[in-house]
Structure 1
Amino acid sequence: MVAALELHLDVDTTRRIRTLWRALDAEGIPSLGSLHQKHRPHLSLAAAHRIDPEAVAAALAGFPVGRGLSVSFDFVGQFVGRVLWLGVTMTPELLDHHREVHDRLAAGGVEIWEHYRPGRWVPHCTISLRVPNPVMAPAIRRCLEYLPIRATITGAAVADHVNDIDQPL
């Protein structure tokens, strides 16, 4: 992922996930926290190679992106390429919110990757981008020790760490 519309998590959840990142790093398992200091625990609603923060802000003007939504991290998953993540249990509220955000982005001409569109999106919080295969099982076990995690969304931003963009909405 290069650019994303990120939902930010409450302070307690952010601390808990950062603690998990540090625990994995201490065991020699690279976490998103050790990639560089710009990442913060989040849930991405949309992603693309590039996302124009001004276009997103215009498309979502007046819409409280994510604020007040409750989410529950209840399982661990992995994507091809050794990406490890905490999975969010879907709720009707989360699905409706995601669809509304995408309808507004599409109307505003903001293009996003297909696998973040409604009906394809897997809501998750990335824990690591490159878990070495020999330590995937211990990494999953460590993540399971931290679950479940109940969280509240407190804000949103367009983030593109490669281009030093972190634009709150």
Structure 2
Amino acid sequence: MPFVAELYFDPSTEERIRGVWKTLDEAGISDSMPKGGYRPHVSLGVCDHLETNSLAQELTTFTAKVTPFRLLFPNIGIFSTSEGVVYLGATVTAELLNVHTAFHEIFKKHAKEQREYYTVGQWVPHCTLAFGLSEDQIAEAVIVCRQMDLPVSTEVKGIGVVEVSSTGCRTLSSFSLKTSDSSELNDELRSEYDETLLKNGVRGKYAKQ
């Protein structure tokens, strides 16, 4: 069964998203998220095999370098694949990419058989509202989810690792992000991100000029 590393939000945002899950459930469209015991999140990485203890040790240090940061969800989107997903789409920012790239420098040392959709350069950051939907259910779910007041603005507060099975998910570890008035720690991650781009021969908006 897959393992998933996740970004977690502030409590008020979690409550709003759980409210949408409840509405979808009460409308008879989908109970996939509440039934599975999921927590509102953005998935950072997914793999089939994971050295959980060694990753947890590194995440203790990693999360001490990251201060909470803002994240905006301005739109409703769908993945019309076999998974049948409706989601909140996140605005891609330099800070979000910095954290994702720096995280994967750690994750790749402990994860095997990663899901490519979540790797650097392939990732579409999103918060799942429902999955396992048919085409008709996708249309119904979008109508319900469009009733949300958008954009949803949140603060990323933590990172966790869960194991997903056919019956739901189980939390293996959870870490709060460092509380600090300084951006120096996140600037350190920005530097690591830029160095990774340069190492791979990429020059872009966030690479050193």
Equivalent residue of 1:8, what SS? strand
- 1:74 corresponds in structure 2 to 74
| CA deviation vs aligned residue, 1:21-50 (integer Å, no higher than 9, x gap) | 0111111111433433x2111111001123
- 1:6 corresponds in structure 2 to 6
2:116 pairs with 1:110: no
* TM-score, structure 1 as length reference: 0.88
2:133 pairs with 1:131: yes
5+ long unaligned stretches in structure 2: 176-209
2:41 pairs with 1:35: no
Selected match of 1:167 from 150, 161, 173: 173
Identity of aligned residues (%): 30
Equivalent residue of 2:44, what SS? strand
* TM-score, structure 2 as length reference: 0.72
Equivalent residue of 1:49, what SS? strand
- 1:58 corresponds in structure 2 to 57
Superposition RMSD in Å: 2.0
Matched-pair contact (CA < 8 Å) for 2:77–2:89: yes
Q: Which has the larger radius of gyration?
A: 2
Write out the 4+ residue segments of structure 1 that deviate beyond 4 Å after TM superposition.
none
- 1:155 corresponds in structure 2 to 158
Matched-pair contact (CA < 8 Å) for 1:32–1:126: no
27-36 vs 68-77, greater mean Cα deviation: 27-36
Distance 2:147 2:67 in 1: 27
Matched-pair contact (CA < 8 Å) for 1:22–1:33: no
Instruction: Count matched residues.
Output: 167
90-99 vs 52-61, greater mean Cα deviation: 52-61
Identify the structure with bigger relative contact order (alpha carbons < 8 Å, sequence gap 6+): 1
- 2:145 corresponds in structure 1 to 143
Q: Measure how far apart 1:58 and its partner are.
A: 3.0
Equivalent residue of 1:154, what SS? strand
| CA deviation vs aligned residue, 1:130-157 (integer Å, no higher than 9, x gap) | 1232232231122122121101111111
- 1:91 corresponds in structure 2 to 93
